[in-house]
Every structure is written in structure tokens, then in C-alpha cells.
Amino acid sequence: MHGDFSKEMSYGDYLQLDKVLSSQQRLSGHHDEMLFIIIHQASELWMKLILHELEAARLHIQQNNLEPAFKMLARVSRIQQQLIQSWDVLSTLTPAEYMQFRNSLGRSSGFQSFQNRLIEFMLGGKQTKVLSVYEHQPELHQQLNQALHEPSLYDAAVKALSMRGLEIDADHLQRDWSQEYKGNASVKAAWLTVYQDVERYWDLYELAEKLVDIDSRQQQWRFNHMVTVERIIGFKSGTGGSAGVEYLKHVVAQRYFPELWSLRTDL
């Protein structure tokens, strides 16, 4: 086994572990704050990978090259499962323990995660008003504003339906990308056609099911988030000023790809 790394790159060098492992700075000194920091930092790393995969998948779909996108979307679903399970680890933090360092967080909140916002934008959950949170960080604000005005992953999938000859309303294909996606009758009819003739549209059918996997796990992640927050702080307001559990209850039922859910009733 090689042992001299004075002139070669080691495992720690490659992963820049000196930076990664020195970025957990407890503000309160409380033992359990380390758990809180690592859970959120690890989640942000997984989100970075989700965005990496979603951006590449969107590009493949836009180029009508669906098969490479399937592996990427399947990977996103697996990553989401990691994020869902992370709430089980965080739920080992009791209310009494969290109250020992909660004030040290100030106004910082997971609500401010710009990567989570980018994921929402990528999936079609566009909200212009959230950009104000990032005005103090011009580069992030610009990045989010750009993502706000780009077609979402689902917009690319809808365009793929049109490229295969399925009829989609022309104004829906040229809609304002900065607006939150809303269900459309022509899109639902097109997906119904796909599900009713799977052999002819197998690739579109597989794309649809990969999207449903992602949407379903995103909903599970929000539900587990809500339950964990209620378990730790009850119905207190969030540190960032949100309504806490009440806000999470409002978004837990949100679905990004509405036609892929509603068509199941009509099949």
C-alpha cells in the first residue's frame, strides 16, 4: 500500500477534507448543535448533486435524447431517499436539546436554502417573491432569477410530447417560464395517450414514471420535514419568520407534475 504522499494527491487532498471537516462551527458549544449542522450541510451536498443531475437530464430531454435522462432521474430519486431518511436522524434531537442552541441560529433558516429554491424552480414551482431573501447576495440572486426564467424539467418533458407529434396547446409551449406551472388539458390528454399506448410511447411512458417517482419523493421529504419540525418545536414560528409547521402543512400536498397524477383517475 502506497504510504508517501508528500508529492502525490491523497484521498483527503482530492476531497478537500480539510475544508469540509473544518466547516462545522458550533455557535453555542452545545453537544447537539453538531448534529444540526451536519444534517443540513450534508443535505446541501445532496441537493448540489440533485441539481447536477436535473440540469443534465433537462438538457437531454430538450435534445429529444431521453434514454440518458432516465439514469439521471433515477439517481435523483435515490438521492431524495437519502434526504428523506435524514429527518429520522434529526428527529433524535429533542425539544429540550434544541432549545439550548436555537437562539444561536438568529434569523437563519432552511427556508433560505438557495439550492432548495433552485430545485423547486427546476421542478416548476416558481415563486418570484422568494427572490427578495437573496438580495443581499447579488450572485445568488442573479442565479435564481435566471433559473426563474428558464423552462423547468417538466416544461422540457411537455415539449418532448409535442416533438413526438402529440398535440399540445401552442400558448402552453411558449408560456411565461417564470410563472408556476399550472395543469393544462392538452398536456393531460397527451399523457393519457402515452399511458393508453405504452408500447408505442415506451420512452415517454418511462419518462413520466421517473417524474412521478421524483414528485412522490419530494412530497415524502416535505411530509417528514413537517413531522420532524412539529416533533422538535411544535407550532412555534420558524427562525426565519415562517409559520413553521402551518407553512409546511400548506406545501406538503404540493405536486409539481399535476397531469401525471390526475390522469390516473381517467385511465
Taking the CA atoms of 165, 171, 177 and 183 in sequence, report the sign of the dihedral they define: negative
Q: Where are the domains of the chain?
A: 32-84+113-263
The verdict on whether residue 40 carries a ligand-binding annotation is: yes
Taking the CA atoms of 256, 258, 264 and 267 in sequence, report the sign of the dihedral they define: negative
- Helix, strand, coil percentages in the chain from 3-state DSSP, rounded to 5: 65, 0, 35
The verdict on whether residue 239 carries a ligand-binding annotation is: yes
The verdict on whether residue 36 carries a ligand-binding annotation is: yes
pLDDT tens-digit profile, the chain (267 residues) = 888 888 899 999 999 999 999 999 999 999 999 999 999 999 999 999 999 999 999 999 999 999 999 999 999 999 999 999 999 999 999 999 999 999 999 989 888 999 999 999 999 999 999 999 999 999 999 999 999 999 999 999 999 999 999 999 999 999 999 999 999 999 999 999 999 999 999 999 999 999 999 999 999 999 999 999 999 989 887 777 776 788 788 788 889 999 999 999 999
Q: Please count the CA atoms within 13 angstroms of the CA of 133 that sit on its side-chain side.
A: 18
The verdict on whether residue 98 carries a ligand-binding annotation is: yes
The verdict on whether residue 37 carries a ligand-binding annotation is: yes
How many other β-carbons are positioned within 10 Å of the β-carbon of residue 117?
A: 23
Query: What CATH class has 32-84+113-263?
Result: mainly alpha
Residues in the chain: 267
Specify the residue for cell string 448540489.
48
The confidence score (pLDDT) of residue 242 equals 75
The verdict on whether residue 39 carries a ligand-binding annotation is: yes
The verdict on whether residue 79 carries a ligand-binding annotation is: no
Print burial letters for 6-20: b (CB count within 10 Å at least 16), e (below 16). Answer: eeeeeeeeeeeeeee
The confidence score (pLDDT) of residue 252 equals 85
Instruction: Report the distance separating Cα 51 and Cα 30, nearest Å.
Output: 33
Q: What's the start-to-end Cα distance of the chain, in Å? A: 60
The single-letter code of the amino acid at 196 is Q
Taking the CA atoms of 237, 242, 247 and 248 in sequence, report the sign of the dihedral they define: negative
> Is residue 193 a contact partner of residue 166, using CB atoms and an 8 Å limit?
yes
